[in-house]
Structure 1
Amino acid sequence: MHPAIQGLLTIAFGVGGCVGYFYFSNLVLDRVIFPARGAHIARNIRRANMIRPWLFLFPALLALGLYLAYPVVETLRLSVTERVPGGGSEFVGLANYQQMLAEAKFWEALQNNFLWLLVVPAASTAFGLLAAQLTDRLAWGNIAKSLIFMPMAISFVGAAVIWKLVYDARPEGTDQIGVLNALYIYFGGDGPMQWLTIPFWNSFFLMMVLIWIQTGFAMVILSAALRGIPEETVEAAIVDGAGPFQIFFKIKVPQIMDTIVVVWTTITIVVLKVFDIVFAMTNGQWETQVLANYMYDKLFRANDWGVGSASAMVIMLLVLPILVWNVYNARREMR
């Protein structure tokens, strides 16, 4: 079957199935379980209305349970078990976690993840805020925003391939197709550099890819927040003699601080799960390993589901406090 036809059929059956579910479930509820007739009509209508919201929530709850809750529970189970010869598994307690903590690659991955956490959210948010402020003052600001946001439409692997070409190094004496090496040699460099093999600094070269992608996201959200600032506060600051930098840092930034924090934490979650960029550009070599790549190596290369699942639980534990904090802030703002 042609993929386009298959996609259309999937959409048709998916939408039709949802409509059919909601229609027939309400029909059964109103006519079979709690019929709106007889002596108890008022009580039946009240009970039906209490159950009806759960009918609409059931598909979402089922999907969350099947694709979110179950994998978490199963990963936790796998992290405390070990395969035995002949098939099956046995409970080993925290042995997988002890093995993971004893490996130098795990600590390298954890250290690099924290380095990414320090640099990427801060740089992406700062560049996004700067772009949002500057493009709002330009006649061709919308075009600039479109260009800055464009990397968001590229997959992480696609972006990694683009930047791998930027860092590409050809033998000395040949034309360099890598932009960075071409500039390096043009400005007097001794010869082409293998940028992605330089320990410590190569992590920053990888970070540039994610910063390039996430700056557009930060810019769009922060631009909307800047437009929501009351003009009266800015006009009052101008009347009081405030300069452009004072208006920006003392008037605008404090008023959008909640949005800045949301953008920062959202990018932080992305950073904790970063995998594609490292996998496509260095595959964790030259001291660029991160937790998600370490987990992949253990699960699918070493075929060690115990240690791989343990590293997955570490990633989840790092992400969980940020998610809880975001939900708490969202609920506080809705009050």
Structure 2
Amino acid sequence: MHPAVLALVTIAVGVGACIGYFYFSNIILDKFIFPAKGPNAGRNINRANMVRPWLFLFPALFALTLYLAYPVFETLRLSLTDRSQGGAFVGLDNYRQMAKEPKFWEAMRNNMLWLIVVPAASTAFGLLVAQLTDRIKWGSVAKSMIFMPMAISFVGAAVIWRLVYHANPIDVDQIGILNAAYLMLGGDEPQQWLTKLFWNNFFLMIVLVWIQTGFAMVILSAALRGVPEETIEAAIVDGANPFQVFFRIKVPQIMGTIVVVWTTITIVVLKVFDIVFAMTNGQWETQVLANYMYDKLFRASDWGVGSAAAMVIMLLVMPILVWNVYNARKEMK
């Protein structure tokens, strides 16, 4: 079957199944479980109305349990067992083994570096672009171009930037923009940028900053538009210059949005895998936790240590998620 036809059939079957589930489940509830007739009709109607919301919630709860809750508990179980011993329970041995590996601490160190640089740079550039593009006539065109990397997959972006960093021999024309510019400015020979220890991490971070700046720009641009004009006009009347208006009037009023953007990008950084995998595969001291987990699970077939690494990632992400939910609920009150 042609993939397009298969996709249409899948959509039709999925939508039909959902409609059928809601239709027949309500019929069963109203006619067989709590029939609205007889001496208990009123009580049955109330009971049916209490159960009905759970009928609508059940598909979502089932999907969340199957694809979210179950994998978490199964990963936790695997992290406490040893596959080579037939799945025997080994307690925290996998975590101890992981803690002894230099690659794990390299991944932790690099992840912390990513956490410091990428959210700060993406949020700062996004805020700067959001402010500047609102002051020019072709701002919408500029925003579209800056947001465009968000439509590219991480692997696609990695391939593009590998070409940017590409190095040909000195006697061959350079297709890598960075090396072409480097030689034009007087460099002696093309550089293998992705093999330069420590600095290669920043070359990888540029890719994620390039992608996430568009996301930060869109959210912060909407927040800036929501700043009351009265406060800006009052500051201008009092003699504030554009920098003072921006940093002392606008930024404090959108600080909640800035924090949300920052934490959202932080979660993306903690899970970063595609860029590192496609560009360096964790070589030359660029290992990150997600790539380390992948290596253990699918290359070394060490499910115990790989699952332990996955649990470490989840534990690092969890406080940020809880904090985001807490702030969201706080703002809704």
Task: State TM-score, norm by structure 1.
Answer: 0.98
Distance 1:45 1:107 in 2: 60
Partner residue of 1:19?
19
Distance 2:45 2:141 in 1: 55
Partner residue of 1:244?
242
| Pairing partner for 1:130 from 116, 128, 131 | 128
| Pairing partner for 1:89 from 82, 87, 90 | 87
| Pairing partner for 2:287 from 264, 286, 289 | 289
Instruction: Please identify, of 230-239 and 207-216, the stretch whose mean Cα deviation from structure 2 is larger.
Output: 230-239
Q: Does 1:150 align with 2:156?
A: no
Distance 1:123 1:99 in 2: 35
Q: What SS class does the counterpart of residue 84 from structure 1 fall into? A: helix
Partner residue of 1:56?
56
- Give aligned-pair identity as a percent: 79
Kindly state the Cα deviation for residue 84 of structure 1 after the two structures are TM-superposed: 3.4
Distance 1:308 1:7 in 2: 34
Instruction: Please identify, of 160-169 and 225-234, the stretch whose mean Cα deviation from structure 2 is larger.
Output: 225-234
Amino acid at match of 1:65: T
Query: Residues 288-325 of structure 1: CA distance to partner in whole angstroms, max 9, x if unpaired?
Result: 00000000000111110010000000000000000011
Amino acid at match of 2:81: T
Distance 1:250 1:172 in 2: 51
Q: Does 1:74 align with 2:38?
A: no
Kindly state the Cα deviation for residue 23 of structure 1 after the two structures are TM-superposed: 1.1
Q: What SS class does the counterpart of residue 277 from structure 2 fall into? A: helix
| Pairing partner for 2:101 from 100, 103, 107 | 103
Partner residue of 2:159?
161
Kindly state the Cα deviation for residue 175 of structure 1 after the two structures are TM-superposed: 0.9
| Pairing partner for 1:216 from 206, 214, 227 | 214
Instruction: Please identify, of 307-316 and 19-28, the stretch whose mean Cα deviation from structure 2 is larger.
Output: 19-28
Kindly state the Cα deviation for residue 31 of structure 1 after the two structures are TM-superposed: 1.5
Q: Does 1:304 align with 2:299?
A: no
Distance 2:38 2:225 in 1: 57
Q: Does 1:276 align with 2:259?
A: no
Kindly state the Cα deviation for residue 43 of structure 1 after the two structures are TM-superposed: 1.5
Q: What SS class does the counterpart of residue 251 from structure 2 fall into? A: helix
Distance 2:262 2:309 in 1: 24
Gaps of 5+ in 2: none
Query: Residues 193-245 of structure 1: CA distance to partner in whole angstroms, max 9, x if unpaired?
Result: 00000000000000000000000000011111111111111111111111111
Partner residue of 1:180?
178
Distance 1:84 1:108 in 2: 26
Query: Residues 131-181 of structure 1: CA distance to partner in whole angstroms, max 9, x if unpaired?
Result: 111111111111111000000000000000000000000011211110000
Q: What SS class does the counterpart of residue 312 from structure 1 fall into? A: helix
Query: Residues 36-56 of structure 1: CA distance to partner in whole angstroms, max 9, x if unpaired?
Result: 222222211211111111111
Distance 2:240 2:42 in 1: 65
Kindly state the Cα deviation for residue 66 of structure 1 after the two structures are TM-superposed: 0.3
Amino acid at match of 1:200: F
Q: Does 1:41 align with 2:23?
A: no
Task: State TM-score, norm by structure 2.
Answer: 0.99
Q: Does 1:267 align with 2:236?
A: no
Distance 1:40 1:146 in 2: 61
Distance 2:53 2:156 in 1: 42
Q: What SS class does the counterpart of residue 88 from structure 2 fall into? A: strand
| Pairing partner for 2:113 from 99, 115, 136 | 115
Kindly state the Cα deviation for residue 93 of structure 1 after the two structures are TM-superposed: 0.7
Q: Does 1:331 align with 2:333?
A: no
Calculate the aligned-residue CA RMSD, in Å.
0.8
- The number of aligned residues is 333
Distance 1:219 1:211 in 2: 12
Distance 1:222 1:121 in 2: 14
Q: What SS class does the counterpart of residue 188 from structure 2 fall into? A: coil
Gaps of 5+ in 1: none
Partner residue of 2:28?
28
Partner residue of 2:196?
198
Distance 1:258 1:38 in 2: 56
Kindly state the Cα deviation for residue 82 of structure 1 after the two structures are TM-superposed: 0.4
